[in-house]
Amino acid sequence: MTRRSLKDLANDSKVRLTSGHRLCAGCAESIIARQVMMATDKPLVVTSATGCFEVSTSIFPYTAWNVPWIHTAFGNSAATCAGTEAAYKALKRKGKVKDDIRFLCFAGDGATYDIGFQSLSGALERGHQMMYVCFNNEAYMNTGIQRSGATGFAASTTTSPVGSDITGKTQFPKDLTMIVAAHDIPYAAQVSPHNWRDLIAKAEKGFECGGPAFLNAISTCPRGWRTGTDSAIVMAKLAVETCVWPLYEYENGRFALTGESARIAEGKMEKKPVTEWIAAQGRYRHLAGDKHLGIVERMQADIDRRWERLQKLCKL
């Protein structure tokens, strides 16, 4: 794929996800999906786990999809995508299919970090040529904002509420991108929709890596995060600038920082404190003031620890 401008990409006649979906105002998922699918000119087959994205793009009798699309349950989206890819390879060997097709799976963090991790791990281990994209909005948003393995420490959700004995989620989030990289697949990366060049470049690498690829995308949820409907890109950018969500890639056994994260590591850009991340979201409003200063300090310490470890992996 040759380098193209954002205007050219936006005006491309091959629109795989159309307007008319019913995602909430301010949701980042459609932005991420379009950016990912802009990264290939090849025919696409898409599978989607049950969740916000699936429900909002396929309410019968309407659909926002302009490609072959399969809805799966919460727990088997990776298995469905892998099975479709395996069937395609069998048909191609028999000469029944000529097209050079790419396979893409979209799922939320609940279906990825938790319910569907077994099928994801299996698909990665078997080596299917498919790309799995996680919309990480840090909770089970479609079913009522319940905490997931991706939910941030101390965040308020309906199953990690704030009260006299609990101050939000009591666990730190899984580092799923690192867990996926441990499968030693050809390509894995963290991305953010605010940096579209970085996201599209990584998606292109994933599509053409010759095996399993994984993109973990920070995906703003105004309802769950208690942010404004005009803040999707601002919040995604802030996640990167605070190192809550570093941009990096794992490619053929090597880690590398990208985008703003690379500039922060090089000292060319300021690493913002986690207090800016907290102050911008209603799900953390209980942490305001000095009462829970210790919790905020624990959050910053965990971010710093993970950031230092990532820089060492990138040999910085």
For 120-174, write each residue's pLDDT tens digit.
999 999 999 999 999 999 999 999 999 999 999 999 999 999 998 889 999 999 9
Write down the pTM of the prediction: 0.94
Evaluate if residue 290 carries a pLDDT over 60: yes
Evaluate if residue 3 carries a pLDDT over 90: no
Report yes or no on 5 lying in a domain: no
Q: What is the dihedral of CA 45, 48, 52, 57, to 10 degrees?
A: 30
Report yes or no on 9 lying in a domain: no
Evaluate if residue 57 carries a pLDDT over 90: yes
Q: What is the model's pLDDT at position 15?
A: 86
Report yes or no on 210 lying in a domain: yes
DSSP secondary structure letter of residue 139: S
Evaluate whether 173 touches 150 at the Cβ level (below 8 Å): yes
Report yes or no on 276 lying in a domain: yes
| Average pLDDT value for residue range 108-131 | 97
Q: What is the model's pLDDT at position 276?
A: 97
Report yes or no on 3 lying in a domain: no
Report yes or no on 306 lying in a domain: yes
Domain residues for the domain of 119 are 14-313
Q: Which CATH number covers residue 192?
A: 3.40.50.970
Taken in order 239, 240, 242, 248, is the CA torsion positive or negative? positive
Structure token pair of residue 313: 């992996």
Q: For the chain, how many structural domains are there in total? A: 1
Which residue has tokens 């090597």?
Answer: 254
Evaluate whether 136 touches 219 at the Cβ level (below 8 Å): yes
pLDDT tens digits, one per residue of 41-53 = 999 999 999 999 9
Report the mean per-residue pLDDT for the chain. Answer: 94
DSSP secondary structure letter of residue 12: -
Evaluate whether 78 touches 116 at the Cβ level (below 8 Å): yes
Report yes or no on 55 lying in a domain: yes
Alpha-carbon 208 to chain mean position: 19
Report yes or no on 6 lying in a domain: no
Could you give the CA distance from residue 100 to residue 23 in angstroms, rounded to a whole number? 31
Evaluate if residue 7 carries a pLDDT over 90: no
Element (H, E) at 189: strand 187-191
